[in-house]
Homo-oligomer: A and B are copies of this chain.
């Protein structure tokens, strides 16, 4: 059985229960607020909330951030089944997960991502999904970059037929001509800097504006015909 598709609470190896504390906070935030947009995934999603672009562009869209650093596809699956999507009706969901599934193959990881998409669609059939390509990582070419590229290839092919879903290719322009990642873009060669977050997430914001605009038009039509 592919471990990437089995919902699982990660073992609290460090011993301070931070993963579960964050999940519990997300569930209560979901109950208290009525997000129009949610973001789900790993630290790439989570750290966006600490970047200036969050307050500039995403906070005004009634956006909740359900990113947890280090999370795997199986962790996101568990969280989706355990309360973060209950009681809410977001119009769009942004997803980035899979880069932390170290022990897994591209096939396993992409199946994990597809299972998450199915799960979101089953809980929120009207919700539009924006899937982010896995980002490149490491200053120089390495196995994990190749693995992430393969996941992206597989995913692009497999999601073609899925409605209300768009993949955004975030890795274009991040690799330099010598295939290195710049510290200007990723200080630790994994997480985007503020300027890189802007480069990556401005297209996501554009797309969200479209989706929310269309959703508003539909709402108006429904009200108009009542």
Contact = CB atoms under 8 A, between A and B. Distances in A.
Interface of A: 13-18, 21-22, 25, 46, 49-50, 68-69, 102, 137-140, 142-145, 183, 187-190, 193-194
A189 B139 contact: no
A189 B22 contact: yes
A43 to B, nearest CB: 8
A77 B50 CA distance: 30
B102 A14 contact: yes
Contacts of A137: 16, 18
A112 B81 CA distance: 43
B189 A15 contact: no
Nearest to A52: B52
Nearest to A147: B15
B16 A145 contact: yes
Most chain B beta carbons < 10 A, residue from A16, A50, A137, A140? A16
